[in-house]
Amino acid sequence: MSILMKAKSILLVEDNPQDEMLILRALNKINLANGIDVVRDGQQALDYLYGQGEFAARQGLELPAVILLDIGLPRLSGLEVLERLRASPATHLLPVVLLTSSDEERDRLKGYENGANSFVTKPLDFAEFAEKVSRIGVYWVAVNESPT
């Protein structure tokens, strides 16, 4: 999970350790060359992206190819993180995929209003879940051209 790898990394922001394991399992199965970094709450995500706090050493490093951002996060929620990212010139174009258990319309609308590039619900069914996660991984690091 080195952030020094040449290919841009994927940043996973997920506070549920089991979801994290299942997502990592699915992403690892598709053998992406990209590293996957994991942070576990909204503040950590901002610290990681802006190279501050516990991630001060990261300053000046490349931004990830995509952020997989859970909505229900402690401290700062995913929607709040997204709002901050869009308000900052350094990150306002950064691709963000909201990953959430919620299929609530209001979350989806709020997500897009806050500038999400994609909104994906985590299905309860494992096979579906794994399928979705690997598609997201492939699409955002291998198919999509990132803005920077």
Residues of this chain that bind other proteins (CB under 8 A): 16, 18-19, 22, 25, 72, 100-104, 122-127, 129
Minimum gap (Å) between residue 83 Cβ and other proteins: 19
The residue (of 102 and 144) whose beta carbon lies closer to other proteins is 102
Tell me the CB-side half-sphere exposure of residue 127, using CA atoms within 13 A. Answer: 0
Minimum gap (Å) between residue 16 Cβ and other proteins: 5
Burial label for 147, CB within 10 Å (0-12, 13-18, 19+), is exposed
Give the C-alpha separation, 40 to 142, whole Å. Answer: 25
Minimum gap (Å) between residue 109 Cβ and other proteins: 12
Minimum gap (Å) between residue 136 Cβ and other proteins: 16
The residue (of 65 and 69) whose beta carbon lies closer to other proteins is 69
CB 4 within 8 A of CB 62: no
Minimum gap (Å) between residue 127 Cβ and other proteins: 7
The residue (of 67 and 71) whose beta carbon lies closer to other proteins is 71
CB atoms within 10 A of CB 12: 25
Give the C-alpha separation, 142 to 146, whole Å. Answer: 10
Report which secondary-structure segment, H or E, holds 67.
Answer: strand 66-70
The residue (of 22 and 93) whose beta carbon lies closer to other proteins is 22
The residue (of 101 and 146) whose beta carbon lies closer to other proteins is 101
CB 63 within 8 A of CB 92: no
